[in-house]
Amino acid sequence: MSNIDFNKIEQGVNGYLDAALKEEKVDQQSYEMAKKNTMTFLRQWLTDDNFLRVSPHVREGILSAVDAGRWEDLVNTFRKKMSFGTGGIRGFMANDRESIVRMEKEGLDAPILKGPNTINNVVLLLTSAGVAKFGREKGFDKIVIGYDSRVRGGDFAKAIAEEFLAYGFTVYLFDEACPFPEVTFAIPYVKAQMGILLSASHNDYRYNGYKLCCGNGSQFDPEERTDMYNNYIVKVTSDDIKTTPLEAAPKGKVIWLGGAERLPDANYYGHEQLMNIHDAYGNQVKEFLLQDTTNKKDLSLAYCAYHGAGRKLVPKLLKDIGFENVNIIHENGLYDLNGLFPSFNSDPGMEQQPDPGDRRAAKVAVDAFIKEYGKAKWDSTDVLIGTDPDADRCALTVKVPEKQRAIYGGDYALLPADEAWAVLLWYRLQLDNSIEKDKAFIVLSHTTTDALTLLAKKHGVGVIKTWVGFAALSAAVRDSWNGELVEGLVEGKNNPNQPLTDMVVMETSGMGKGRSYNLGAFEQSNGYALLGYPPKDLFSLGEKGHVRDKDGTFAAILLAEIAQWAKDNNTTVFELIDNIYLDKEIGLFYNHYEPDPIDGEYPGIEGDRLKKAILRRALGYYQIALAGGFSIGGQPVTSVAIYRTGKYDHVYPPTPDWIFPDEGIRFYFGSEYNHLTVRPSGTGNALRLHIQMHTFDVDKGNITEQKAELRNRAQAIADDIRTLLGAPRSSDF
């Protein structure tokens, strides 16, 4: 180590930090944390021989950044350890395209800048060592591991599998990129106690991470997750990294998950056992169909995989259940597994996310469809289904009636998940005669449309609202199954200054102490599942239920079924939604969502300051709203609430390192169904703006005008709050 000039490194790091503080690019708190940690972690990564054993070029990558004077990048890479969130870890592999491309070409050990605050093989092996030690102390001995289309996802999965083998686990490993829902299905199916998917969901190509599941396929409970992190992950050292190569694993310790036959280009490392999980999963999905869809040739479907792992499974299931007219979009490589997501990075620095719930992504898909199949084919297409890279999100693009095209800007529209879920719930309430409505309930996050709430109440179905995240949705279902709910619970509205609230449930309605049948879990961010009745044990799916995390593949099949039913009944999905809104007990909803920034996040230590400054301004406007006389976008604010749970705002009163309520601030505009929520992301330096507008004053004669009015109000609110918070829209959204 004598050739490493630590004085030079320390001077460069401190020089950048001191200048950034002086120029007010970083705040004092972030500055002090970086001063404390950066050199400590840099010395560790440059001197630990175990890191060289795992990644022989790790020092080369760090020292290349030193030689290039990349002090800001070095600080961001070493100022802290990667956060362990509600569902695992997620973050940048690198913040520049050149490094990601190099890793794609050269492998996991490419000499790029790595450290404790990026996703790399060292960080994942350290984290997995903690997870493995936690599991072994609990008596766990089986784990499911999969990966999606992320750059080198298969190599990451192999490395982690070899570590769990070394810790004595039997590993069930997917033989190619797979949807996350197949992982959450496989865990209880093979009676494993844990599961991991290497994925960063819909984030752009620079990200990776892994989603961590417990034995029933849902995310771990907060108590278990805290125990795992504080008592195992935090305490691991590089000495805890150990591996058993796949080819050296004993017979029966590696079981492959895939289809009926081996893939011709896959390496099975001498392990012969292959379990057909694809058909098992598909057969389970088919049980939820409410009509016979065999030989349905008249519905014209388009499908876009967005370079992701749903590319085989979704079209296969659609065809298996009878849809013969499925047109897969291949143009621009959208069907290919490609973690660089080339369809979303045509403009330098754009870094757009392959999120099927983003209307720009819908345009990418529609334009590619027309280029591949022609405009006439598009004109005859009924719906377009899209899934994200790990296929846990699903979105539906539909045709718009001519009289409403001026509102939507064309002949098609991407349905917000709020509307897709509303029509899905309506459909099942109408056609599923087996539902015991006195036992049934739905669960939705508090940023998801209240059209679902009113639909459920109209049919005598209970409602649970939770905080954001599918972990909260699944936990709330479990609480209802266990009879642990409190009827009429309302968190955050009546006393916004109260201490920590329930980390899962926000409010309940019509639930009593709990109901036994969940007929839907709904999330604004394009997440859906149906969990059914209580499971027979802790390691099983719910009876007559599907997986216990969001499933875009499942949603795709159910939405296709609805589109077919609509066509059979001489209507469309779009018209079904309008008919829901024309119900006098429900009324017209418009739900508007914008992230800030529009793509990605405010990066690094300088991004920390930007995000905190915006959040402090939001807290200031909360105080102004309390005083009265405050308007946003021309809409008078009539009340305001703080939503604080303790998930990642830590304690109440808040500690100095974080001051903003983790579930945000909500501004109400005269009605409980008209509001704006300003919420921080739980996974990065970004904010979320959620706006809901509603009116009961809607009929067939004015629905077009009322839609336009609610949209205009929502957009005015979004524009004004961005101006007030100093968060201008960075691109068209």
Whether residue 69 is found in the same domain as residue 176: no
Please give the full DSSP string across 86-126, using - where no structure is assigned: TTEEEEES-SSHHHHHHHHHH-TT-S----TTS--HHHHHH
pLDDT of residue 649: 66
Whether residue 122 is found in the same domain as residue 268: yes
Q: Is residue 391 part of a domain?
A: yes
Give Cα 530 distance to the centre of its chain.
17
Q: Is residue 145 part of a domain?
A: yes
Q: Which of 243, 258, 278 is the last residue of a domain?
A: 278
Beta pairing partners, 144: 172, 195
Q: In what order do the strands lie in the sheet with 88-92?
A: 84-85, 88-92, 207-214, 194-198, 142-147, 170-174, 254-258, 274-276
Q: In what order do the strands lie in the sheet with 639-642?
A: 588-596, 687-695, 674-680, 665-671, 639-642
Whether residue 535 is found in the same domain as residue 520: yes
CA distance 726 to 110: 39
pLDDT of residue 2: 56
Whether residue 484 is found in the same domain as residue 382: no
In this structure, what are the phi and psi dihedrals at residue 170, rounded to the nearest 5 degrees?
-85, 130
DSSP secondary structure code for residue 231 in this structure: I
CB 70 within 8 A of CB 38: no
- 3-state DSSP assignment of residue 387: strand
CB 552 within 8 A of CB 393: yes
pLDDT of residue 733: 47
Give Cα 635 distance to the centre of its chain.
31
CA distance 241 to 167: 10
Q: Is residue 732 part of a domain?
A: no
In this structure, what are the phi and psi dihedrals at residue 345, rounded to the nearest 5 degrees?
-140, 40
Q: Which of 557, 583, 609 is the last residue of a domain?
A: 583
Q: Is residue 730 part of a domain?
A: no
Whether residue 239 is found in the same domain as residue 322: no
- Residues in the chain where the model's pLDDT stays below 70: 1-2, 85-86, 346-351, 486, 488-502, 649-659, 729-733
What global pTM score does this model have? 0.95
- 3-state DSSP assignment of residue 149: coil
CA-CA distances (angstroms) from residue 580 to 141, 384, 423, 462, 586? Answer: 49, 21, 8, 19, 7
Q: State the CATH number of the domain containing residue 389.
A: 3.40.120.10
Whether residue 540 is found in the same domain as residue 603: no
Please give the span between the terminal C-alpha atoms of the chain, in angstroms, as a whole number: 50
In terms of Cβ atoms closer than 10 Å to its own Cβ (0-12, 13-18, 19+), residue 497 is: exposed
Q: Name which of 352, 372, 357, 100 is nearest 343 in CA terms.
A: 352
Q: Is residue 220 part of a domain?
A: yes
- 3-state DSSP assignment of residue 701: coil
CB 402 within 8 A of CB 379: no
CB 174 within 8 A of CB 273: no
Q: For the chain, what is the domain count?
A: 5
Q: Which of 30, 53, 80 is the last residue of a domain?
A: 80
CA distance 100 to 106: 10
Ranges assigned E (strand) in 597-696: 631-632, 635-636, 639-642, 665-671, 674-680, 687-695
Q: State the CATH number of the domain containing residue 601.
A: 3.30.310
Q: Name which of 553, 71, 9 is nearest 281 in CA terms.
A: 553
Whether residue 575 is found in the same domain as residue 645: no
Element (H, E) at 414: strand 412-414
Whether residue 565 is found in the same domain as residue 648: no
- 3-state per-residue secondary structure call for 643-666: CCCCCCCCCCCCCCCCCCCCCCEE
In terms of Cβ atoms closer than 10 Å to its own Cβ (0-12, 13-18, 19+), residue 373 is: middle
pLDDT in tens, 403-421: 999 999 999 999 999 999 9
Whether residue 252 is found in the same domain as residue 129: yes
Give Cα 506 distance to the centre of its chain.
20
Whether residue 395 is found in the same domain as residue 435: no
Q: In what order do the strands lie in the sheet with 527-529?
A: 505-509, 462-466, 440-445, 517-523, 527-529
Whether residue 258 is found in the same domain as residue 307: no
Please give the full DSSP string across 252-271, using - where no structure is assigned: TSEEEEESSS--TT---TT-
User: For the packed helices 552-568 and 573-581, what is the interaxial angle rounded to 10 degrees?
Assistant: 90
Q: Is residue 733 part of a domain?
A: no
Q: Is the peptide bond before 250 cis (omega within 30 degrees of 0)?
A: no
CB 21 within 8 A of CB 13: no
pLDDT in tens, 596-631: 988 888 889 988 888 888 988 999 999 999 999 999
The one-letter code for the residue type at 543 is E
CA distance 230 to 240: 16
pLDDT of residue 221: 82
Whether residue 89 is found in the same domain as residue 62: no
- Residue 118 backbone class (left: φ over 0; alpha: ψ -120 to 50; beta: rest): beta
Q: Is residue 206 part of a domain?
A: yes
Domain that holds residue 447: 419-583
Q: Is residue 284 part of a domain?
A: no
The one-letter code for the residue type at 147 is Y
Q: What is the C-alpha radius of gyration for the chain, rounded to an integer number of angstroms?
A: 25
CB 393 within 8 A of CB 310: no
DSSP secondary structure code for residue 597 in this structure: S
CA distance 607 to 233: 27
Please give the full DSSP string across 173-211, using - where no structure is assigned: EESS---HHHHHHHHHHHT-SEEEEE--TTS-TTEEEEE
